[in-house]
Amino acid sequence: MHTIKSMTLVTSCLLALPICAQAGEKETIKYRENNMEIIGAHMNSIVAIIKEQVPHKEHLTAHANGLSAAAKMSSAAFKEKTSGGDTTAKDTIWSDSAKFDEAMQMLLTSTAKLETAAASGDMPAVQAAVGDVGKSCKNCHDTFRNKK
């Protein structure tokens, strides 16, 4: 009787593996989307501050730091290849990983410069750095993201 229960348990676990893999892929995609939304939210907040649409100049450094921190997680968030699912990521992220790594490095470099500029309080430097971050985002999206 114990052997039958053990075999039933093992069989159930083996049958569940594809379901677990699918759930993992779905969560991987959602994690990446959340990370990109964080980047977008910090950028939108920074732009609102430098355009003086909001009176929160004292938050600029915190947003720049948050943006840089999220950028540092982006590359790792895309290491695991997903196939299918509800995503705008192109397969070239994994088939041309060297080019994707270059795009990620461009993001890291530009967000680090923005952090430095924000900490200095030099608004023209902040504006230039925001432009560079925007260019790195556009470059990656144009190359590695399907349009919605």
Tens of pLDDT along 28-59? 999 999 999 999 999 999 999 999 999 999 99
- What is the rounded distance in angstroms from the CA atom of residue 35 to the CA atom of residue 24? 16
143 Cβ neighbours under 8 A, 6+ residues apart: 90, 92, 99, 103
Residues 70-112: tens digit of each pLDDT = 999 999 999 999 877 889 999 999 999 999 999 999 999 999 9
Give one word for 83, left, alpha or beta, with left for phi > 0 and alpha for psi -120 to 50: beta
What is the rounded distance in angstroms from the CA atom of residue 81 to the CA atom of residue 93?
8
* pTM attached to this predicted model: 0.82
